[in-house]
Amino acid sequence: MAAVRISSRSGLPSLLVYLGIGVLMGQDGIGGIRFDNAELTQVIGYAALVVILAEGGLGTKWKEIKPALPAATALALAGVAVSVGVTATAAHHLVGLEWRQALIIGAVVSSTDAAAVFSVLRKIPLPARVTGTLEAESGFNDAPVVILVVSFSMAGPFEHWSVLVGKILLELAIGAAIGIAVGWLGSWGLRHVALPASGLYPIAVMAIAVTAYAAGALAHGSGFLAVYLASMVMGNARLPHWPATRGFAEGVGWIAQIGMFVLLGLLVTPHELGVDILPALVIGLVLTMVARPLSVVVCLLPFRVPWQEQALMSWAGLRGAVPIILATIPMVSGVEGSRHIFNIVFVLVVVYTLLQGPTLPWLARLLRLGDGTEAADLGIESAPLEQLRGHLLSVSIPRESKMHGVEINELRLPAGAAVTLVVRKGTSFVPLPTTVLQRGDELLVVATDPVRDAAERRLRAVGRGGKLAGWLGTNGST
Q: Are 143 and 172 in contact (CB under 8 A)?
A: yes
| CATH number of the 379-468 domain | 3.30.70.1450
Closest CA to 337 of 42, 99, 158: 99
How is 201-242 classified by DSSP, letter by letter? HHHHHHHHHHHHHHHHHHTTS-HHHHHHHHHHHHHTS--BTH
Segments of the chain assigned to CATH 1.20.1530.20: 2-366
Q: Provide the residue-wise pLDDT of the chain in tens; the chain has 478 residues.
A: 777 777 666 556 677 788 888 888 988 888 888 888 888 988 998 999 899 889 888 988 888 788 888 998 999 899 999 999 999 999 999 999 999 999 999 999 988 876 666 666 666 667 778 888 888 888 788 888 888 898 888 877 777 778 888 888 899 999 999 999 999 999 999 888 878 888 899 999 999 999 999 999 999 999 999 999 999 999 988 788 887 888 899 889 888 888 888 888 898 888 888 899 999 999 999 999 999 999 999 999 998 889 998 998 999 888 877 888 889 999 988 888 899 999 999 999 889 888 887 788 788 888 888 654 444 556 666 666 665 677 888 888 887 788 888 999 889 899 989 999 999 988 899 999 899 999 889 999 998 888 888 888 889 888 888 877 766 555 555 4
Give the SS3 label for residue 440. coil
**pTM of the predicted model, to two decimals?**
0.74
Q: Give the C-alpha separation, 272 to 249, whole Å.
A: 37
Q: Are 446 and 417 in contact (CB under 8 A)?
A: yes
Segments of the chain assigned to CATH 3.30.70.1450: 379-468
Q: Give the C-alpha separation, 310 to 317, whole Å.
A: 11
Query: How much of the chain exceeds pLDDT 70, in percent?
Result: 90
Task: Read off the pLDDT of residues 213-268 as tens digits, 9 standing for 90 and up.
Answer: 999 999 999 999 999 999 999 998 878 888 788 889 988 988 888 888 888 889 88
How is 446-462 classified by DSSP, letter by letter? EEEGGGHHHHHHHHHHH
Q: Which CATH class is domain 2-366?
A: mainly alpha
How far is residue 140 from each of residues 42, 146, 176, 299, measured CA to CA in Å?
Answer: 20, 11, 10, 15
